[in-house]
Structure 1
Amino acid sequence: MTIKDIINRIKTDKTRLGITLYAPASSSDIVKFEEILHITLPDDIKTFYSFSNGFESDEDMFRIIPLEEIVDNIKDRNSFTESNGDFHIAEYMIYCDTWTLHVDSNDSSQYKIYNKTLNTIVLTNSFSEFLNVFLNKGVFDGLYSWRENLANKTK
């Protein structure tokens, strides 16, 4: 499933999914974000933010975080990031939990989305897959079950 498939699904089913979209980020918003964070966003994530600068959902107040909020939060890095350039791209219940993006500084097409509590579990290297899991099953039956299944495989 591509990011365009995810975008089309959200456009078609946003009411049923309980999703409120934010206004799209402009190309200059994205460039400014990349300059401030000294990164290049992966193309699929740029495509998504060009469609919607994040969203909020009825599902446990899950959100894809808007770019300007990510910039504001970067000043307050916490122990839930693995390295200095990482940032939270999704959160739920007003930052009770977060999902974090790590982009390879040498190749922006190489990235991972992880969740760190006591230990770090890399969920995926696909924003489309991450969103698809959330859209299909939500936070608990989707994202948390996914994390738990991956954690069990690494034991």
Structure 2
Amino acid sequence: MSDSRLLLHARAAGRAFLLPLSELREVVPGAPVAPIPSGPPGIQGVVLHHGEFLPVLDWGVVGGDPDHAAPPTVLAVLRPRLGLPLEGVAGTVEAPEGGLNDSPAEDAWRPILAGLCQLEDQELPVLDADRLLALLHRLRKAR
């Protein structure tokens, strides 16, 4: 099994999704997020991580479903130094050989997705960290 094909199966903002392990530094226990007054859009605040402040994503910026979301229990730390609060982690899976399918145009997460991955009987979105960061940069510039 190639490391480049391994995906973390997680849940956040009321939605199950996949995240390539190659974009992940680590998954750590959740910690209280300290808000930043007048902070950048899309960032709910920071946590202290290995002695440094780590910005934490506000899932609301990508159209999460707060009505069906559980409180975060863990934090996925991406390589580009961004924390993703997760409701849970189901484990890792291997991406199928066939590649990814296009996400529907009406999917609120489409701007941050690499595509959809067919795993057995379900199709799960695959988060693209570079697209997520690009969205956050666009939000900051539009501010």
What's the TM-score once normalised by structure 1's chain length?
0.31
Q: Which structure shows the bigger proportion of residues in strand conformation?
A: 2
Asked which structure has the greater RCO (Cα within 8 Å, sep 6+), the reply is 2
What's the TM-score once normalised by structure 2's chain length?
0.33
Q: Which structure shows the bigger proportion of residues in helix conformation?
A: 1
